[in-house]
Amino acid sequence: MTRPATSLAEADLAHFFHPQTNLAVHAETGPLVIDRGEGVFLWDDSGRRYLDAMAGLWCVGLGYSEPRLAEAARRQMERLPYGQSFGSRAHEPGIRLAERLAALAPAGLSRTFFACSGSEANDTAIKLAWYLWNARGEPKRKRILARRRAYHGVTQASASLTGLPLIHAGFDLPLPFVHHLTAPHVIQQAWPHESEEEFALRLARELEATIADLGAETIAAFIAEPVMGAGGVILPPRGYFDAIQPILRRHDILLIADEVITGFGRLGTLWGSDALGLAPDILTCAKMLTSGYQPLSAVLLKEDLYQEIAAQSGANGGFGHGFTWSAHPVAAAVALAVLDIYEERDILGHVAQVAPHFQRRLALLGQHGLVREARGMGLIGGIEMRAGADALRLQAAALREGLLVRAVGGDTVALCPPLVIGAEEVEDLFDRLARALRALD
């Protein structure tokens, strides 16, 4: 191969359009080019090593060097590298994965529709809710309730569900079908002297009042991440989901759980819904479904909802939604191998073992003067800084310590390491982060 005339950095600056990046800053700084990975570590193209405390983008649960996943992809590529699922066509990995997810899913979510990203999954969930209410003869039910600081993706619909100003800025979003409620963010939104439980009840009263105001007959669904990730690692106040679910049920409003980050063990349980007590009608997941090795997402729904949709599709002459790469066989084969490994290696057991250690070290960071709160659950953590700029400074200082973290939600540094992280690597992670924090003094 002839050697390209330009360096990677030059070619990047000339041609690569970076997603979710401050492009003006990028023109000055250039890219961080990652060359290879092993376990929880990454190396850049100059040979420098980093501990990836974000598992890529909350996804590489099994770390960067799992040979069985490469082998599963290779075998599937050799046998059937592409297979579609429109018009009743099917293939073994897609069918087996749907069957497997039905066995793992929270009660009753036994049907799976596949897409390629979290955004597409949430977009699909909204379309399913609309389709369903149209089928039920309630076409006015189009509104979706979401929360400020939620992150649900970047397609026009999922970006609209997202409650972060940066995701809307310059795009004329959110679209008017979304109504945002208060973020369930205790330290920012609870009143002084209000307990978590009282705050949760106040949020439930806000929901009730919003439904009364908009009219239940105009609301299709409520969407929530069990724990908010990209909005700032926000754990809802105690009692929140217990307080709001009966209200949703009373008004026949569907509950969509966005488990794109929380699915497959992040919070110490297989699903965030298990950890937080959600009983969703529709659940979206992605990321750790393939440990990030392939782009794949899934929308799980209850069988009775599927049957209603199926009947309507007969009347409509077909179900007019699906992607070229829905249930891509290579992605599905990798997902099946991932689920095997999660079980064989008892990944949930491993998370149960390391998470208390992770959370203890995380909590200690809360004592630093620049930190407003250090919070987390399972193997996710958020370090909320006193000023928004401090989150970006900490991200930069961590990078200098060879640690990849991510400033999210404007004021918080997120931690979300691979689930396979070991006890010594947890020490290493927090030693680097503590040094980075001290460097800000």
Binding mask 31-60 for ligand PLP (x = CB under 6 A): --------------------------xx--
Work out how close the CB of 257 gets to ligand PLP at its nearest, in angstroms, rounded to a whole number.
10
Q: How many residues bind ligand PLP (CB under 6 A)?
A: 16
Work out how close the CB of 256 gets to ligand PLP at its nearest, in angstroms, rounded to a whole number.
11
Helix (H, G, I), strand (E, B) or coil at 147: strand
Q: Which residues contact 155 (CB under 8 A, 6 or more apart)?
A: 119, 120, 122, 123
Work out how close the CB of 230 gets to ligand PLP at its nearest, in angstroms, rounded to a whole number.
5
Decide whether 231 or 401 has the Cβ nearer to ligand PLP.
231
Residues numbered 227 to 256 that lie near ligand PLP (CB under 6 A) are 229-230
Name the residue among 427, 433, 438 with its Cα closest to residue 368. Answer: 438
| Number of CB atoms found within 10 A of residue 285's CB | 27
Work out how close the CB of 297 gets to ligand PLP at its nearest, in angstroms, rounded to a whole number.
6
Decide whether 159 or 351 has the Cβ nearer to ligand PLP.
159
Tell me which residue has its CB nearest to ligand PLP.
Answer: 118
d(CA 237, CA 260): 21
Decide whether 85 or 290 has the Cβ nearer to ligand PLP.
290
Among 131, 151, 222, 323, binds ligand PLP (CB under 6 A): 151
Place of tokens 């929360």: 147
- Could you tell me the strand order of the sheet in which 412-415 lies? 371-377, 380-385, 412-415, 406-408
Decide whether 119 or 291 has the Cβ nearer to ligand PLP.
119
Work out how close the CB of 278 gets to ligand PLP at its nearest, in angstroms, rounded to a whole number.
14
Decide whether 181 or 211 has the Cβ nearer to ligand PLP.
181
Residues numbered 87 to 126 that lie near ligand PLP (CB under 6 A) are 117-119, 122
Binding mask 359-398 for ligand PLP (x = CB under 6 A): ----------------------------------------
Residues numbered 280 to 339 that lie near ligand PLP (CB under 6 A) are 286
d(CA 273, CA 262): 8
Decide whether 355 or 408 has the Cβ nearer to ligand PLP.
408
Work out how close the CB of 296 gets to ligand PLP at its nearest, in angstroms, rounded to a whole number.
10
Decide whether 163 or 239 has the Cβ nearer to ligand PLP.
163
Among 63, 153, 292, 378, binds ligand PLP (CB under 6 A): 153
Place of tokens 């298990």: 274
Decide whether 128 or 437 has the Cβ nearer to ligand PLP.
128
Work out how close the CB of 113 gets to ligand PLP at its nearest, in angstroms, rounded to a whole number.
15
Tokens representing 341 are 């490994």
Work out how close the CB of 178 gets to ligand PLP at its nearest, in angstroms, rounded to a whole number.
14
d(CA 201, CA 204): 5
Decide whether 18 or 48 has the Cβ nearer to ligand PLP.
18
Peptide bond into 174 cis (omega under 30): yes
Among 152, 328, 375, 432, binds ligand PLP (CB under 6 A): 152
- Could you tell me the strand order of the sheet in which 34-38 lies? 34-38, 41-44, 49-52, 403-404
Place of tokens 């980050």: 261
Tokens representing 77 are 């590529």
Cβ proximity of 115 and 323 under 8 Å: yes
Cβ proximity of 211 and 247 under 8 Å: yes
In 222-238, which positions are buried (b, 16+ CB within 10 angstroms) versus exposed (e)?
A: bbbbbbbbbbbbbbbbe
Residues numbered 254 to 283 that lie near ligand PLP (CB under 6 A) are 258, 260-261
d(CA 399, CA 290): 27
- Helix 329-344 vs helix 92-104: angle between axes, to the nearest 10 degrees? 40
Q: Which residues contact 182 (CB under 8 A, 6 or more apart)?
A: 147, 148, 189, 203, 206
Residues numbered 210 to 229 that lie near ligand PLP (CB under 6 A) are 225, 229
Q: Is 178 in the site for ligand PLP (CB under 6 A)?
A: no
Among 40-48, 145-153, 197-205, 426-434, which window interacts with ligand PLP (CB under 6 A)? 145-153
Residues that bind ligand PLP (CB under 6 A): 57-58, 117-119, 122, 151-153, 225, 229-230, 258, 260-261, 286
